[in-house]
């Protein structure tokens, strides 16, 4: 299981929070501030994009090991 892939949202959010904290309180010169701010803006966009991508893909595992798309609403009726 790839660590990067599974927790990147969490990592992005943690990094964003850290950056905002550094800009708030840290003793940085202007260049470092700008670098961090730019990184923070990128992270902000990435986090928002992921949240906006609200669709959840639902699949069903078949006996063959393949998967098949599934509509949750159609189940259990």
Q: Is 1 in the site for another protein (CB under 8 A)?
A: yes
Q: Is 42 in the site for another protein (CB under 8 A)?
A: no
Q: Is 67 in the site for another protein (CB under 8 A)?
A: yes
Residue 70 · residue 58 · CB < 8 Å: yes
- DSSP symbol at 72: G
CB of 37 to another protein, least distance (A): 5
CB of 33 to another protein, least distance (A): 5
Binder of another protein out of 35, 64, 66, 76 (CB under 8 A): 76
């Amino acid at each position: 299981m790839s660590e990067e892939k599974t927790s990147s949202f969490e990592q992005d959010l943690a990094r964003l929070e850290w950056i905002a904290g550094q800009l708030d309180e840290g003793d940085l010169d202007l260049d470092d501030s700008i670098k961090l701010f730019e990184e923070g803006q990128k992270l902000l966009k990435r986090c928002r994009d992921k949240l906006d991508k609200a669709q959840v893909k639902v699949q069903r595992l078949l006996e063959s090991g393949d998967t098949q798309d599934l509509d949750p609403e159609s189940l259990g009726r």
